Amino acid sequence: MDLLVETFFNLAIMREALPLLLRGVLTTLALCAVVIPLGFAGGLVLAVLGTTRSRWKRFLLACWIDFFRAVPPLVLLIFVHSGLPFAGIELTAFAAVAVAFLLNNSAYYAEIVRAGIESIGRGQREAARSTGLTATQTLTWVVLPQAVRNVLPDLLSNTIEVVKLTSIASVVALPELLYAADMARSVTYNASPIVLAAGFYLLLLWPVVRLLSRLEHRIAG
């Protein structure tokens, strides 16, 4: 029992690692503040492009989206971070994460928004057009607001995944929460900093997970 506490809940070590981890939390939050809006905006753009009538444009778009849904985000990140420099494109760790996340997340957000758009009946569109709204105005003021509302739980769920995913930025040495925790672990030879990091992630995401669970069950039931 002592050994267990010593290994995972060593308060002395946790206290020592705390400042480092707090800085990590800030970096994680900053990362989220960049990649979530960016990914969502990218997803909106892809989803809106997907409303085109041209079949082959839709096909190309589906290929693009499926490609970035098929490549694991860590693979994409390492490719952007370590592969592109060989082609003369050097990115900072932060920029590499931003680019990889944009490519990956926008594909997921796009699929969700697309489902939302498809959930809006054509009567809504026709009513709007019959009052003189253009196609773009109809999309902006009538279709998208309803579409986003209809898929809010899915958007929230995906956003939780994005926040969790920021932990892979540690692999390219971006000093976010998990990176900080792993640094502290390798210095102290003790897993407690990682437990502390887990605590921070729970603090951040547990309320959201609860909320989501409520939303999902309300819709199911």
Partner 1 sequence: MSEPGANGDYILEARGLRKSFGDLEVLKGVDFRVRSGELVFVIGPSGSGKSTLLRCFNRLEEPSAGSVVVHGVDLMARSTDINAMRRRIGMVFQSFNLYPHLRVRSNVTLALRRVLRKPRVEADRIAEAALARVGLADKADAYPSELSGGQQQRVAIARALALEPQLVLFDEPTSALDPELVGSVLTVMRDLRAAGMTMVVVSHEMRFAREAADRVVFMDDGCIVEEGSPEEIFERPRSPRLREFVAEVTR
Partner 2 sequence: MATPELSAWQRFVETFFRPDLLAEYSDDIALGMVVTCEVAVLVLVCGTALGLLLAYLRALRFRALNFLIVVFVDVMRALPPLVLILLFYFGLPSVGISLSSFVVLWLVLTLVLAAFAEEIFWAGMLSVRDGQWQAARSTGLGFNQTLVWVILPQAVRMTVPPLTNRAIAITKNTALGTVIGVGEILNQATTAQSFTGSATPLMMGAIAYVVLFVPVVMLGRWVETRFAWKRA
Smallest distance, partner 2 to C-beta of residue 58, A = 13
Report residue 10 as tokens.
């060593």
Integer Cα distance of 74 and 103 in angstroms: 12
Report residue 8 as tokens.
């995972």
* Angle 23-28-30 from CA coordinates, rounded to 5°: 95
Residues 146-165 touching partner 1, rule: CB under 8 A, are: 146, 149
Smallest distance, partner 2 to C-beta of residue 72, A = 4
Smallest distance, partner 1 to C-beta of residue 138, A = 10
Smallest distance, partner 1 to C-beta of residue 133, A = 6
CA distances from 179 to 28, 39, 105, 147 (A): 10, 22, 21, 37
Nearer to partner 2, 3 or 131 (CB): 3
Report residue 76 as tokens.
């994409």
Q: Which DSSP category does 132 fall into?
A: T
Euclidean distance between the first and final Cα of the chain, in Å?
A: 43
Contact flag: residue 59 with partner 2 (CB under 8 A)? no
Nearer to partner 2, 131 or 220 (CB): 220
Q: What are phi and psi of 30, to 5 degrees?
A: -60, -40
Smallest distance, partner 2 to C-beta of residue 196, A = 11
Contact flag: residue 216 with partner 2 (CB under 8 A)? yes
Report yes or no: 17 and 187 within 8 Å, Cβ to Cβ.
no
Contact flag: residue 201 with partner 2 (CB under 8 A)? yes
For residue 132, the tally of other CB atoms under 10 A from its CB is: 7
- Residues in contact with partner 2 by CB under 8 A are 3-4, 6-8, 62, 66-67, 69-76, 78-79, 82-84, 86-87, 119, 160-161, 164-168, 170-171, 178, 181-182, 185, 190-191, 194-195, 197-198, 201-202, 204-206, 208-210, 213, 216-217, 220-221
- Residues in contact with partner 1 by CB under 8 A are 123-124, 126-134, 137, 141-142, 145-146, 149
